[in-house]
Chains A and B, each alone.
Chain A
Amino acid sequence: MSSFLNERRPPVFCPGCTHDRITKELDRALEIMGLPADKTVIVSDIGCSGLFDTFFNVHALHGLHGRALTYAQGLKLANPELNVIVTMGDGGLGIGGAHVLAACRKNMDVTLIVLNNFNFGMTGGQYSSTTPTAAVVGSEFLNHAEIPIDICAVAESAGATYISRCSGHDAKLAETFVEAMGHKGFSLVETFGMCTGRYTKRNPLTPKVIDEMIAAMPRNNGPVEKNKRAEYGEVYRQLALEKKRFPEPVTIEKLIDPAAPKREEIVILGSAGMRIVTAGDIVCYAGMTAGMNVSMKNDYNITVLRGQSVSEILISPEKIGYAGIQAPTVVVAISDEGVQRRRSMFATLSPETFVIKEKSVAIPETPARVFEVDFKESKVKRHDWALASLGLLAKEGKGFTFEMLSHAVHARFNEKVAGIAMETVEKMYRS
C-alpha cells in the first residue's frame, strides 16, 4: 500500500514534537487497513492537533475548538460508509468535554485520537484539563489548584466501548490505531506526547517518563467488555425503520354551509387536567366543518400538571389577521385558576357576551350575560366540564351548532372515544 500523506503539505511540527511521530503512525495504520481515501475523513480540532487533516490525502474537515466530534458524528450519521477519524488535543478535550461524554454514551462508529501533550502548545503553554498539578506552565500558579482529568477513566464510566492509552512513542502505535479504527463503535485512543516547544522546556518529560506515567495509571488497552453494545447508527436505523407511518396533516372537510357565518371569539378558562386544549381543538374543528378559518392560542403553566389552562379561539368567515382575543363573544369559566389568569377581561365584556360559569367558580363583576351551570349536580366529571360546556354552547346557539360540534367530535376522536364524548355533549345539549 502507498502512503496517505499529502506530499504537498508535509508536517510542520516543532522538532521533537510527538505529533510528528503520530502523523506517521496514523498514516501507517491507514496503509495497513487499506481504507479507501474517498471513504475516509479526518476531522480535526483546534490547536496543533488541528493541523492533522491537512497532512493527509483523505477528506478533511477542520472545525471549531472542542467541536470536532459533533461534525464527525453528523458525517457518520449522514453517510454510514465513511471511516471517520477525529484528532483532538487536550485543549479540545477540555472545552468539548460534554461532546466526548456524549460520544462515549452514543457509541457511534468514530475513532477519537486524543493527542495529550499536557498543555496548550499553540497559544503559549497554558495549562489544560490534563496538565499535572505540579507542572510548570504558562498559566503561572493556576494549575496548582486543580487536578488533571483521566479521560480514559471518564470514558469508561461514560460508556465507551473501546479505550486505549499509550505513548505516542510506542512502537506498536500504528497497530493500536488499526485496532481502534477496526472497532465497530466509538473508540478513544489517548496518546501521551511531548510538546518540545512549550512543555518539556520546563518539565522533565521524555519517552521513558511517559512510559512510567502510563504504567502507573489504570490500564486501558482495548475493547471495554462491560460497555459492549451495538453501534449507535445501526440502532438508530433499526428503530427508525419501525416508524413507517408518515403523519399526514390534520385536515377537516367542509361539511356544512352555515346560514349566517360570523366571527366568534371564544375563551375557555380552565385548569390543567380539564382537557382545555382538547376542547379548543374541537371548537376549531367545529368551525372548520363549516369552512371557517380558525386560530387557537393556548396558555398553560410550564409545570403542566397544575395551574391554569386557557384556550383562546377565533372562528371567522374571513382570513384571520390579529390572532389575539379582542371582544370575546363566548367565555367558558370552569376553574378559578383560569379566571384569575384573565381576570381583567370580565369588566370589558359586552352585554352580548355569553358567559358559562360553573357554580363553584367565582368570576369578577361583568356586564356580560352569565349562565350558571352546576356540573357537579349534573354528575359531569371535572375533566369533562370543558367538553360538556361545548354541548351547552351548541344548545344556546353560541359559536357553533350541534351539527358542527358533532362532526368535530367525530373528527377529533376515534369512534369509541367519540361515542363517549358525544354522550357528555348530548347530556348538556338536551338538558
Chain B
Amino acid sequence: MALSFMEGNEAVARGAMAAGCSFFAGYPITPATTVFANMLKMLPPRGGVCVQGEDEIASMGYCIGASMAGKKALTATSGPGLSLYSEQISFAVGSEIPLVIVDVQRLGPSTGSATRGADSDIQFMRWGNTGGVPVIVLVPKDALDCYLLTVHAFNYAEEFRCPVFIASNKEIGMTKESVDLDAVTLPPLVARKPYRGDAYVPFEAGPESAPDFLPIGGRDLVRQTSSTHGPDGYITIDPGVIEANQERLQNKILAAEERITLYEENHRPGADTLVISYGVTSRAVDDACAHLEKKGRPVSSLTLKTLWPVPETLLLKAAKSYRRIVVVEMNLGQYVGEIQRVLCGKKIDFYGQMDGILIKPGKIMEVIENE
C-alpha cells in the first residue's frame, strides 16, 4: 500500500479532475488559493482552461459562461470571496447553471482571519442567494473526503443543474495528510443530461426535475437569463408560470433529499447520547467517542457530509433511540438550529467555538460528560 501526501485543497483539485472538470476560474484568497494553484497545474496538460478573474465576481461569471457552453466548471474561494459571488450564485441557482463552488472557510465575519479556520459560512452558503431557493452543500472532514465529495458535487451539479458547494475549512484545506486514494471508490460520473428531441424549450422540465441541457454554441438555439423566466427562457410575469417554476426549483432539490444525504454514523451499543457534527470537528468527535468508549461510557456519533438540503430523514432515524443529542460546531451555532427544528422535543445540548483553533477532543468529552 502506498499512501499519497496532500492537503485538502489539492485533494479537491484531484477530485475535480476525476469528475471531468475542464474549466476553472478563480481569484486568489487564503486559504482557498491552492485549489486554484493546483488546477493551474492540472488543467493545461489535460486540455482544460484555468484562468484568474479580475475579481471574484468575474471568476463566477467566467464559470457561468463556460458552464453554459457545456463545460464542467469549478471555482474556489473563502468567505470574503463568497460574499462577492453572491449575485452570481443567485443567477446560477435561478437559471439552473451547473457549477461547483469550493468555500475553504476561514474565520469571519468580513475579512476575518485569513489563516484561521472556522465553519463560518454554513448558513451563508444556504441563504446567500436572493429568493431563498434550496442549494446543495457538502462538507468534508478530511483530505480524502475533499477528493470524494468533489466528485459527488460535480455529479449533483450536473443532475440537478445547480451550483453545489463544498464547505471546506482552512484546517482541512491547508493541512497536509496521508491519503489512501486507492481505498476510495468514486461514484460513477454523471453527465449533464442532453435534450434529445427536436423542439428545444430551455427550461421545460418535470415538477421535480431539472431541465435537459443544450449548450450555447450547439445546433439548437439556447436562451439563458438571470431574470424570472418561463420554460421558453423569456422573461415572464405570469403568476402561474412563475409559481410553477419556483416550486420546481425547490422540489428538484428537496424531493431528492435522501439521495443527496451523505454521512457516516457510528452507533455504539448501550449509548444514550448521540453526538452530531460535521467537517473537521467530526475528527475530534471521533477521538472523543473512542476515548469515552475505552472509559466505559459509549457515545454514538453522526457525521453529516450533506448539510443542505437538511438530511431530515436521516436525522430523525439516527436520533430516534437516543435520550440526548449533542451538537458540536466550529462556529457559534449555525446548524444546531436546523437540528433543533428537525428533532424538536429531543434534549439537545450544543457546544460551539470560534476562536481560530480546532475544538479539542477533551473539550468535547467534557461537554458530553458534564450534562
Contacts and interface: CB of A to CB of B under 8 A. Distances in A.
A72 B30 CA distance: 28
A3 interface: no
A28 interface: no
B72 to A, nearest CB: 10
Contact of A323 (B65, B68, B69, B358): B358
B221 A59 contact: yes
A169 to B, nearest CB: 28
Q: Which of A251, A287, A293 has the most CB of B within 10 A?
A: A251
A295 to B, nearest CB: 4
Interface in B5-42: 5-6, 10, 14, 23, 25, 30, 38, 41-42
Contact of A246 (B46, B71, B283, B360): B46
A254 interface: yes
A385 interface: no
Contacts of A57: 221
A285 interface: yes
B354 interface: no
Contacts of A243: 41, 44-45
Chain B residues touching A, majority SS: mixed
Nearest to B41: A247
B149 interface: no
B118 interface: no
Contact of B217 (A71, A79, A320): A79
B261 to A, nearest CB: 23
Interface string A145-176: 00000000000000000000000000000000
Interface stretch (A35-43, A111-119, A187-195, A355-363): A35-43
Contact of A250 (B4, B30, B55): B4
B117 to A, nearest CB: 10
B165 interface: no
A81 B215 CA distance: 13
A272 to B, nearest CB: 14
Contacts of A37: 221
Contact of B360 (A81, A320, A322): A322
Contacts of B38: 247
A77 B73 CA distance: 12
A67 B54 CA distance: 12
B195 to A, nearest CB: 14
A132 interface: no
A119 B70 CA distance: 36
Contacts of B280: 323
Interface in A230-245: 236, 239-241, 243-245
A294 interface: yes
Interface in B188-245: 215-227, 233-235
Nearest to B284: A322
A321 interface: yes
Interface string A1-42: 000000001000000000000000000000000000111010
B68 A71 contact: yes
Contacts of B96: none
Contact of B62 (A54, A77, A251, A288): A77
Given A64-B226, A75-B68, A38 B176 contact: no
Interface in A120-136: none
Given A247-B41, A254-B1, A78 B55 contact: no
Contact of A297 (B25, B88, B175, B235): B175
A326 B360 CA distance: 8
A78 B69 contact: yes
Given A64-B91, A323-B177, A74 B5 contact: no
Contacts of A281: 5, 176
Given A245-B45, A288-B178, A70 B65 contact: yes
A79 B177 CA distance: 38
Nearest to B222: A59
A293 B54 CA distance: 40
A125 B285 CA distance: 59
A320 B361 contact: no
B5 A294 contact: yes
A295 B60 contact: no
A70 B284 CA distance: 42
Which of B2, B215, B233, B284 has its CB near the most chain A CB atoms (within 10 A)?
Answer: B2
Given A60-B223, A246-B46, A75 B216 contact: yes
Contacts of B159: none
B61 to A, nearest CB: 2
A268 to B, nearest CB: 14
A249 interface: yes
Contact of A73 (B65, B177, B226, B283): B65
B68 A293 contact: no
Contacts of B10: 249
Contact of A249 (B73, B181, B235): B181
A368 interface: no
B42 A247 contact: yes
Given A63-B64, A288-B5, 17 more contacts: A43-B65, A54-B234, A60-B221, A60-B222, A63-B61, A63-B226, A74-B25, A236-B49, A246-B45, A284-B178, A295-B176, A297-B174, A299-B115, A322-B287, A324-B284, A326-B361, A326-B362
29 contacts: A53-B223, A60-B224, A64-B91, A67-B88, A70-B58, A70-B62, A73-B61, A74-B63, A74-B64, A77-B62, A81-B217, A82-B217, A98-B54, A99-B54, A101-B54, A240-B44, A240-B47, A241-B44, A243-B44, A247-B41, A249-B4, A252-B2, A252-B3, A284-B178, A288-B178, A293-B178, A294-B177, A297-B174, A322-B286
5 closest A-B pairs by beta carbon, nearest first, are: A74-B65, A70-B61, A78-B69, A74-B62, A102-B54
